[in-house]
Amino acid sequence: MSMMDKIKSMLKGHPQQTNQGIEKAGDYVDDRTQGKHRRHVDTAQDRMREQLGGEGGRPGPAPGPDRGPDEPPRA
């Protein structure tokens, strides 16, 4: 069992706590870097939520009539 699998199993069923931990870690990095890498930190937080199943995140575009919820937004 990999380390990531162990972490996922520990966090399973606790999406609110997972999200709080991800937010707290991102805020810490933002503070330490004085916000210089905020965009990258936000991206990392979003990917962590996807991997670990945290809830929340930045709101995305609403799915349109010809676009499903899993499709990326069009430019």
pLDDT tens-place string over residues 10-26: 888 888 888 999 999 99
Give burial (CB, 10 Å; 0-12/13-18/19+) of 21. middle
Q: In which residue are the tokens 């962590």 written?
A: 48
pTM for the whole structure: 0.60
- Other CB atoms within a 10 A radius of the CB of residue 35 amount to 11
Rg (CA), the chain: 15
pLDDT tens track for 44-69: 999 988 887 766 554 444 444 554 55
Six-digit token string for 37: 């890498």
Helix locations, 1-75, DSSP H: 3-11, 15-32, 38-52
